[in-house]
Amino acid sequence: MAKKGPGAMGTLGNVLWIIFGGLFASIAAFLSGILACITIIGIPVGLQMFKFAKFVLLPFGKEVREVNVTGFKTVVNIIWAIFAGWEYALAYLLIGVLFCITIIGIPFGKQYFKMASFVLLPLGRDFTY
C-alpha cells in the first residue's frame, strides 16, 4: 500500500513552514536529540527527538499516534515531563495559540498543538500520514 502524502495544500503548508522557521526549529530539535544522547539515560529521548526533528521539518499531513507504551517508557516519560517536556510543550502550546488568533494562522497553530502533544511525552509516540 502506498503512503498517503500531505496533498497539495499540505505541500504548500510544508513549503511555507520551512521558509518561515520550520528549518530552524527542526535543527533545534535535532541538536536537542544530540544533547540527550550524550547521556546514557537520555538515549531513548534523544532518538525520539530525532524523529521529532523530522516531523518538525514537514509537519503538514502527519498525525501523532501512540505505539507500544511499556513500563520503562512510562517512567522515562515522567522524568522527561518533569525536567524538560513541560517547558517544550508549554512553549509549543503558546505559539499555537498565538497562531490561532488569526484565521490564516490556524493551520500552523494546529501543527504546534501536535508538536506539544508529542514533546510532552515522546516515548511511545510516532508519526503517521
Burial label, 104 (beta-carbon count in 10 A; 0-12, 13-18, 19+): exposed
Helix, strand, or coil (residue 36): helix
pLDDT of the residue at 49: 92
The 10s digit of each residue's pLDDT in 1-21 is 555 667 777 888 899 989 888
Find where cell 513500563 sits.
71
Q: Within 10 A of 3 (CB to CB), how many other CB atoms are there?
A: 7
Q: Is 109 in contact with 100 (CB distance < 8 Å)?
A: yes
The 10s digit of each residue's pLDDT in 72-102 is 888 988 998 999 889 999 999 999 999 999 9
State the chain's maximal CA–CA distance in angstroms.
Answer: 44
* pLDDT grade for 69, boundaries at 50, 70 and 90: confident
pLDDT of the residue at 13: 87
